[in-house]
Structure 1
Amino acid sequence: MSELAKEYKIAQFLAKKMTGELSPEEEQELVKLKKESGSAIVDEQILNPANKRERDELISQFDTNSSLQKVVKRIHPKKQPPRNLVWWGSAAAAVIIIVFTTLILQEPILVVDESLPMAEVQAGSPKAILITPEGKQFNLSGQDSSKTLQLGNGFTAINKGNIVEYTGNSDSLSFQGTQKHVIQIPKGGEYELILPDGTHVWINSDSELSFPTQFDSTRREVFLTGEAYFSVTKDKEKPFIVKVNEDIEIKVLGTQFNVQAYQDENTIETTLCEGSVNVSDGKQKVTLTPSLQAVYSKSTKNLITRKVDTRLYSSWKDGLFVFENKPLEEIMTTLSRWYNIHVFYANQAVKTYHFTGDLERYGDFRKTLGMIEKATSIRFVINGNNIMVEEVSN
């Protein structure tokens, strides 16, 4: 029996053990397999893409729907297991059932409750890494916090622990061509940046902004992945340009706007709060006025505009999540970046539940999930930083 087959056999036995269906003979075989394997479940053997063919052959013998239904029923014996529990593909099902079973055996699963300690899930905080063109890295929230940074090539920045400000007369600095500084914000982080021209940028979790060591004489150009809010210093002679991947260019003279452009999302959204901006994909171009949003679809390549409440797209920088009739899947994606959590869904239906409300960005995670629970027919099952979302049966 291959190592991968052993891993799957172990997982299958564990699932049966959770539901009280493991025979004495299987119990003995489980002990033997675990001793022979000598490795944790859900290790590189299972997750390695090179094992896909063998994984698919093995999963054809593994009743994931039945096993996972029984595991959930064991966790909540007084409740009926959620309908349509398994909706993923066969290979993914194997990994999910094994991960889920392993989490259950490692530590107890907690249902969200005001009385339960949740110290392991913390709200995000100022975190960032600044990288110079030469590759030198500064941990802005660690050993390099609250100090003056000598960045090389005449650049100096003052870091205050939540905001880093470039100082000095940029016109006197030697031009470095296409070389750029990069500020990276991890999941569970945020940071503010003041560029040499005075432009203020709020950078959200799981984002990256790169900018030249000196703006040239005709334009101020930066590159964004993720989400950021810009308050651009006016300069009629030097338009400010935000580039997003190879798709979108946002051109302004001086204004305030939010850009959401995460790589794992299908749309790029530019929301104007003040002033005027031009948004273009090279073929299509739209001009925004306040309260208009440009939405670019990566799949259809269409660029449209729509009127929005800008508060829904900019309040994150002021400490609030503001949702208006948002699908639960989108809400949990937003929360996962900020709280650095992993979200799993018991069935497809819960993703489409909608929620409207304001949630404190720095608030207690229990209360955040509790508010969503009260407004929808769902329950959050928590194990460390792993969140299972399930439907509450009537």
Structure 2
Amino acid sequence: MLSNKIEKIITKYLLNQASFSELEALELWLLDSENEKVFKEFIKTNYLIDSSLNKYNTSLSSKKLLAFITQEKQTIRVKRFRNYLKYAAVFIGLIMVSYFFNVGKDTSTNAPILVESIQTGKDKATLTLENGTIVSLEKGASFNNKNAQSNGEKLIYLNSTNKESNKIAYNYLTVPRGGQFYLKLSDETQVWLNSESQLKYPVSFTKGKIRVVELIYGEAFFDVSPSTNHQGSLFKVHHKDQDIQVLGTTFNIKAYKDESSIYTTLVEGNVAVSFKETQKNLSPNDQLNLDLETKTAIIQKVDVYNAISWKDGVFSFDEKSLFEIMRVLSRWYDVKVVFKDDAIKEEEFIGVLSKNQNIEDILKSIKNFGLVKSYTIRDKIIILE
């Protein structure tokens, strides 16, 4: 039997409004196998109704949702639990969007005009070798040379060091709009590059010297191989407006050419961010916002999940303006976004979206929330009004 208390908690959870204590109570309640059955039935009855959803496996969807919620039954760790809930929200979001917009065709004057299908982003990049040769990397195209190999979905460099007397050879990995790519450097540092990004790095690092790479533009998540594995060699990420020095840690840098700020978000470890003659030290969950116009920096505590979820196939937006959201989506779907009414740019949205989700479903959801009156897609241009 579903009590009023638990029903309210589930409803608040689905609306992303549940408190930590309520989430903890929900997980404890789900430890009972009979409650699992009640939970599945509640989701099916209240959120997966309508014959237009027959193409979806509603049983499987509720199982996936339940799996996310109960994955860590042995130990209740609220912070991690909340992250699982955010992932789970993707499944509900996708299904509910389909429910709201497949019930019938919209014949009103505000119906969107869809001229062509916009593809979701995928793993793709171009590799520029030290001799200037350009190699296309994408699924189905393999690449191998003496330094690296790729299956088209990731690029792995051989574990090697450069002799100090040798000239350092640099490669460039460029990810276009509508792309993403994974890279493992020769020191085993892992890098995830987001859409519209470029990284410059040595084919191999010089033994005993600082390991330096350059984020020329875009966004990258780094999981740095510890200095203890490299005779104490520090790791530095250079950008024309700042430098980040680390011993071994995980962090995200967002430095797009069309944005007036650089965001550095620390997940684990410690980093020192330097710009001009200033240095700021970050602790886990800190995000440094460097304003390129005023040359000032602000550090604040953030939910790092929102900053790094993109590398795991999810966009997490927490009170972000529609302008900011569409800027992110425009890179991933390789489209241009035009606002016919500047006022709607500041409308805020809270939600979690799968990167595999169709852009048209996302636009329908945004329209359903009342953020826009209508949208039109023409020649990879999205017009919002």
After TM superposition, the score normalised by the length of structure 2 is: 0.67
CA–CA distance in 2 between the matches of 1:140 and 1:186? 11
Aligned to 1:111: 112
1:141 aligns with 2:130: no
Among candidates 319, 324, 328, match of residue 334 of structure 1: 328
CA contact (8 A) 1:173 1:214 kept: no
Match of 2:202 in 1: 212
User: Contact 1:262 / 1:268 at 8 angstroms: preserved in 2?
Assistant: yes
Aligned match of 1:127: 124
Residue of 264, 282, 291 corresponding to 2:276: 282
Q: CA deviation at 1:168?
A: 4.2
Q: What does residue 181 of structure 1 align with?
A: 171
Q: What is the distance in 2 between the residues matched to 1:376 and 1:230?
A: 37
Q: For 1:357 and 1:258, how far apart are their aligned partners in 2? A: 21
Structure 1 counterpart SS, 2:191 = strand
Asked if structure 1 preserves the Cα contact closer than 8 Å seen for 2:211 and 2:233, the reply is yes
What is aligned with 2:357? Answer: 363
- 1:142, 1:310 → 2: CA distance? 30
Aligned counterpart for 1:167 among listed residues 158, 161, 179: 158
* Equivalent residue, structure 1, for 2:77: none
TM-superposed CA distance for 1:214, in Å, is 2.8
1:187 match: secondary structure: coil
- Conserved? CA contact 1:189–1:338, under 8 Å: yes
Q: Does 2:237 match 1:242?
A: yes
Distance 2:125 2:165 in 1: 26
Task: Kindly state the Cα deviation for residue 377 of structure 1 after the two structures are TM-superposed.
Answer: 3.1
Take 1:169 and 1:281, find their aligned partners in 2: how far apart are those partners? Answer: 31
**How large is the RMSD of aligned CA atoms in angstroms?**
2.1
Say if 2:186 is the partner of 1:196: yes
Q: Could you give the per-residue CA deviations for residues 255-274 of structure 1, whole angstroms, max 9, x where no partner exists?
A: 01100000110000000111
Counterpart AA for 1:195: L
TM-score (norm 1): 0.66
Shift of the alpha carbon at 1:156?
A: 2.0
CA shift for structure 1 position 210: 0.2
Unaligned runs of 5+ in 2: 1-106
Match of 2:382 in 1: 387
Distance between the aligned counterparts of 2:233 and 2:159, measured in 1?
19
* Structure 2 counterparts to residues 1-394 of structure 1, below 5 A: 111=112, 120-141=117-138, 145-147=141-143, 149-150=144-145, 155-171=146-162, 175-177=166-168, 179-216=169-206, 217-224=208-215, 225-236=217-228, 237-245=232-240, 247-378=241-372, 379-390=374-385
How many aligned residue pairs are there? 273
Q: 1:171 deviation in Å?
A: 4.0
Displacement of 1:134: 1.1
**CA distance in structure 2 between the aligned counterparts of 1:171 and 1:184, rounded to whole angstroms:** 23
Larger gyration radius, structure 1 or structure 2:
1
Instruction: Go from structure 1 to structure 2 and tell me whether the alpha carbon gap of 1:77 and 1:130 turns closer, same or farther (over 3 Å shift).
Output: same
Partner of 2:67: none
C-alpha distance in 2 between matches for 1:370 and 1:173: 57
Q: Is contact 2:147–2:203 with CA below 8 Å preserved after alignment?
A: no
Aligned mates of 2:260, 2:322 — CA distance in 1: 17
Say if 1:284 and 1:303, in contact at 8 Å, map to a contact too.
no
Amino acid at match of 2:349: F
Letter in structure 1 aligned against 2:153? N
Q: 1:346 & 1:359 partners in 2: Cα distance?
A: 24
| Alpha-carbon distance between aligned partners in 2 of 1:370 and 1:251, rounded to the nearest angstrom | 43
Distance 1:142 1:314, change over 3 A: closer
Runs of 4+ in structure 1 off by over 6 angstroms are: none
List per-residue Cα deviations over 1:253-311 (Å, max 9, x = no partner): 10011000001100000001111111110311111111100110000000221110101
> Post-superposition shift, 1:172?
6.1
| Residues 115 and 379, structure 2, Cα contact 8 Å, conserved in 1 | no
Query: What do residues 4-25 of structure 1 show as CA deviations (whole Å, max 9, x unaligned)?
Result: xxxxxxxxxxxxxxxxxxxxxx
